[in-house]
Amino acid sequence: MSAENGSDGFVTFESVQKSYDGETLVVKDLNLSIARGEFLTMLGPSGSGKTTCLMMLAGFETATHGDIRLGGVSINNIPPHKRGIGMVFQNYALFPHMTVAENLSFPLEVRKLDKSEREQKVMRALDMVQMGEFGGRRPAQLSGGQQQRIALARALVFEPELVLMDEPLGALDKQLREHMQFEITKLAHDLGITTVYVTHDQTEALTMSDRVAVFNDGVIQQLAPPDELYEQPTSSFVAQFIGENNALHGEVQSIDGDVAVIKLNSGDLIDAKPVNVSNVGDKTMVSIRPERVEFNMSRLAEGSHTLKAEVLEFVYMGDTFRTRLRVADNDDFIVKTRNAPDQVRLKPGSTVDIGWMPSDCRALDA
C-alpha cells in the first residue's frame, strides 16, 4: 500500500497553495499523492494547515494556486456536493432535527434512491457500526461515542471512495478513542476506501495510518509510514514532534561515510548518523530515542564514544523504568529501559556511562 509521490495517485495535490488574507500562505506548495485504499494521516501542531488542506479537498475552500485531482480528474471547479467525498466532522455535525435513520438516509435521498433501497442501505450502515437499534433516536439522545459512530456511518452510507475525517475522535475519552481508532481502521481497510485523517494526536497517527504526513507551518515536513517516521525522522521538527526525543546540540567535527563525530556544546564527542548535515562545522541537533540508549558498553562497537551521565531521577512505571539523567549539560535526558530481571535500577546521584549505536543517533538540522 505504499504509494510513491507521483501523478498516478488516487488523490493528488500538485503545488497547492492557500492564503486566506492575501498576505500569508497558510499552505505553502503542497505536493501529495495518496494511493487508492490508503489510510493517510495529516498530523501537525495547531494552525499548521491540516484542516485547510482537508477543506480544499472537500471543496469548501478553494486553492489559491495549484491543482487538486481526484481519480485523475482536476476537481478545482467541481462544487462540494458533486465530489462524492464522505466527511466526518470534528463535532460530528449530525442534523439535530432528524433521527439517526433520517440522518443516514439524507445522502441517499439527495441521490434519489428509492425507499426500499434506502432503508436497506441505512440498515446495513447502522449494523456496520453496531448501532442497529438506534435508528429511531435523535442525535441528542446518543452518547458521544455513539454519535461518532453515526457520523461515521453517515459518511460511509453512500459508498464514497474517499472519506475525510477531521479530528473525529477529539471529543472522546481515552478508552473510547482507542476503541474507535481500531474500529475506524478496520472499517476503512475492510471496505477498501481511501481515507484522509486529520489529528494532532501522534499516537493516533502512528497506530492507524499507512502513511503519516507531518505538517508544520503549511509545509509537509515528512511523509512516511509510521515506523519510518519514528525511527528515521529527517528533520529536527519531526524528531521532536513524534514520540519522546532526547536532543543534544553541537557541531559536526568529522564525517566518515555513515558515521559523523559531533562535538557537543559541552565539549563532549559523540557518534551519530549524518542525516541532514553534510559539512564539517555545520550546527546540528542530534536526536536519540530514550529506548535506544545503552548502558552496557560491551554491546557497542570498538572505539565508540561514550558519555558520563549523572542520574537525577528514577521512576518505576511497571513495564518500564524511566530515568532522568544529566548528560552534556542537558538536565532532561530521558532513558527508558524494559523491566527485565537483569535490568539495573539506577540510584539518583550515581554516575553511569552511556552510549548508543551511531545508527540510532541522528544528526539533524539545528
- What are the residues binding another protein (CB under 8 A)? 58-60, 79-87, 89, 91, 93, 95-97, 106-107, 110-111, 154-155, 158
Phi-psi region of 199 (alpha: psi -120 to 50; beta: other; left: phi over 0): beta
Which of residues 17 and 90 has its CB atom nearest to Mg ion in the complex? Answer: 90
At closest approach, how far in Å is the CB of 215 from another protein? 21
**How near is the Cβ of 155 to another protein at its closest, in Å?**
8
C-alpha cell at 190: 475492510
44 binds ligand ATP, rule: CB under 6 A:
yes
- Per rule CB under 6 A, is residue 52 in the interface with ligand ATP? yes
Residue that is written with C-alpha cell 509521490 in the block: 5
In this structure, the number of other CB atoms found within 10 A of the CB of residue 315 comes to 11
Please tell me the number of Cα atoms within 13 Å of 225 on its side-chain side. Answer: 8
Measured from the CB of residue 243, what is the shortest distance to Mg ion in angstroms?
Answer: 22
Q: Which of 41, 48, 51, 147 binds Mg ion (CB under 5 A)?
A: 51
Per-position x/- string for 154-193, each x denoting binding to ligand ATP as judged by CB under 6 A, each - no binding? ----------------------------------------
Please state the closest distance from residue 16 (CB atom) to another protein, in A: 19
Report the interhelical angle of 174-191 vs 144-156 (nearest 10°).
10
Closest distance between another protein and the C-beta of residue 157, in Å? 9
Applying CB under 5 A, which part among 45-53, 65-73, 287-295, 351-359 lies near Mg ion?
45-53
Separation of alpha carbons 88 and 72, rounded Å: 24
CB-nearest residue to Mg ion: 51
Q: How far is the CB of 91 from another protein (least distance, A)?
A: 6
Which residue is nearest to ligand ATP, using beta carbons?
Answer: 51
- The C-alpha atoms of residue 8 and residue 321 are separated, in whole angstroms, by 47
Nearer to Mg ion, 51 or 209 (CB): 51
* Maximum distance among all Cα pairs of the chain, rounded to whole angstroms: 76
Minimum Å gap between C-beta 130 and ligand ATP is 29
- With binding defined as CB under 5 A, does residue 12 bind Mg ion? no
Please name which of 363, 360, 364 lies closest in space to residue 299, comparing C-alpha atoms: 360
Q: How far is the CB of 307 from ligand ATP (least distance, A)?
A: 37
Q: CB nearer to ligand ATP: give 44 or 168.
A: 44
Nearest to 275 by CA among 337, 338, 231, 326: 231
Nearest residue (CB) to another protein, 114 versus 256 = 114
With beta carbons less than 8 A apart as the criterion, state whether 302 and 286 touch. Answer: no
Task: Name which of 93 and 311 has its Cβ closer to ligand ATP.
Answer: 93
For ligand ATP, which stretch binds (CB under 6 A), given 39-47, 157-165, 204-212, 318-326? Answer: 39-47
- Check residue 60 for interaction with ligand ATP (CB under 6 A): no
**DSSP run (H or E) holding 231:** helix 226-231
Q: Which residue has cell 521538527?
A: 237
Distance between CA 246 and CA 223 in Å, rounded?
22
- Only one residue has cell 513495564, namely 319
Distance in angstroms (rounded) separating the CA atoms of residues 254 and 247: 19
Q: How far apart are CA 13 and CA 32, in angstroms?
A: 5
Give me the residues that bind ligand ATP (CB under 6 A), please. 20, 26, 44, 46-52, 200
Give me the residues that bind Mg ion (CB under 5 A), please. 51
